[in-house]
């Protein structure tokens, strides 16, 4: 696994994937490859019941390494290379609850990756944003879709169009993060919350995640049918 990613399996069923490229935890191809490897490893361990995504250093992630765009023939080739080595879909398709822990800068693809997790908590020093518009690009690591799915188009539109940053309090008000805690207490709160997620009966956790996602994707009548199906499966103890 790339040195820029650390994966730890806990005895409590919690697997922690940590970005290890401080101070800004910039995403480059090495980090992407490490993430893909870590997420795949987590997916293949049946004892994992919750995944935590965290980061070393002062900042969660300031986004993509833009210097790598200059090594490709065009910005479009650079984007294609990144899409071909994409950790985002493996992350969103993990079969267990995912918790992302934000602190410092969570910008660009750093924020976009967090939006693909089920829950996000933030330290009170967190600064969130999608600055790609200011650089003449789309937030195309899922940003237009994932932010809209989390907070709706009305709230997402000004964040995406302006490329502005928001603080943790505003992120909580908008519903981007579930909690804001003092940064010094972030580790202890992460352990507590991850433990709660890991203790959820696995068929119930899987059913809840499928139902909640269906609410965004389907008309109400179809979503209710999905809920009934998964409620029966969860009652029978069936994971899929």
Indicate whether 102 belongs to any domain.
yes
79 and 34 part of one domain: yes
The pTM score is 0.87
What's the rounded Cα separation, in Å, for the pair 11 and 176?
30
Residue 69 inside a domain? The answer is: yes
What the block records as the tokens of 2 is: 């790339």
Q: Mark whether 80 and 148 lie in a shared domain.
A: yes
Q: Domain count for the chain, please give it.
A: 2
DSSP letters along the chain, please?
A: --TTEEEEE-TTSEEEEEE--TTTT-B-HHHHHHHHHHHHHHHT-TT--EEEEEESSS-SB--B-GGGGGGSSSHHHHHHHHHHT--HHHHHT-SS-EEEEE-SEEETHHHHHHHTSSEEEEETT-EEE-GGGGGT---TTTHHHHHHHHH-HHHHHHHHHH--EEEHHHHHHHTSSSEEE-GGGHHHHHHHHHHHHHTS-HHHHHHHHHHHHHHHHS-HHHHHHHHHHHHHHHHTT---
CATH number at residue 109: 3.90.226.10
Sequential pLDDT tens for the chain (240 residues): 558 999 999 989 999 999 999 999 998 888 889 999 999 999 999 999 999 999 999 999 998 877 655 455 555 555 555 555 678 888 999 999 999 999 999 999 999 999 999 999 999 999 999 988 887 777 767 778 899 999 999 999 999 999 999 999 999 999 999 999 999 999 999 999 999 999 999 889 988 888 888 888 888 898 889 888 888 888 887 654
What lies within 8 Å, CB to CB, of 77 at 6+ separation is none
Q: Which sequence positions are flagged as catalytic?
A: 112, 132
Q: Are residues 89 and 207 in the same domain?
A: no
Q: Mark whether 133 and 212 lie in a shared domain.
A: no
Together in a domain, 57 and 94: yes
Task: Report yes or no on 165 lying in a domain.
Answer: yes
The answer to whether position 86 is within a domain reads yes
**Rounded Cα–Cα distance for residues 2 and 18 (Å):** 11
Residue 240 falls within a domain, yes or no? no
32 vs 59: CA distance, rounded Å? 17
Owning domain of residue 226: 201-235
Shared-domain flag, residues 210 and 109: no
Q: Are residues 147 and 221 in the same domain?
A: no
């Amino acid at each position: 696994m790339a040195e820029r990613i650390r994966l730890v399996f806990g005895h409590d069923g919690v697997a922690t994937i940590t970005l290890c490229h401080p101070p800004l935890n910039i995403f480059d191809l090495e980090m992407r490859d490490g993430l893909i490897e870590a997420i795949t490893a987590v997916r293949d361990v049946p004892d994992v019941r919750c995944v935590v995504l965290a980061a070393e250093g002062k900042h969660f992630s300031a986004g993509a390494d833009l210097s790598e765009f200059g090594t490709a023939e065009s910005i479009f080739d650079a984007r294609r290379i990144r899409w071909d080595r994409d950790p985002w879909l493996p992350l969103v398709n993990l079969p267990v609850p995912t918790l992302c822990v934000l602190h410092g800068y969570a910008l660009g693809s750093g924020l976009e990756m967090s939006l693909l997790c089920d829950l996000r908590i933030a330290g009170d020093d967190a600064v969130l944003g999608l600055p790609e518009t200011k650089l003449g690009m789309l937030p195309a690591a899922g940003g237009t879709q994932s932010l809209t799915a989390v907070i709706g188009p009305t709230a997402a539109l000004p964040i995406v169009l302006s490329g502005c940053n928001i603080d943790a309090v505003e992120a909580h008000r908008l519903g981007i993060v579930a909690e804001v805690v003092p940064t010094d207490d972030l580790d202890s709160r992460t352990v507590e919350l991850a433990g709660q997620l890991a203790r959820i009966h696995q068929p119930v956790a899987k059913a809840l995640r499928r139902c909640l996602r269906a609410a965004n994707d389907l008309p109400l009548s179809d979503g209710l049918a999905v809920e009934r199906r998964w409620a029966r499966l969860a009652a029978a103890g069936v994971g899929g």
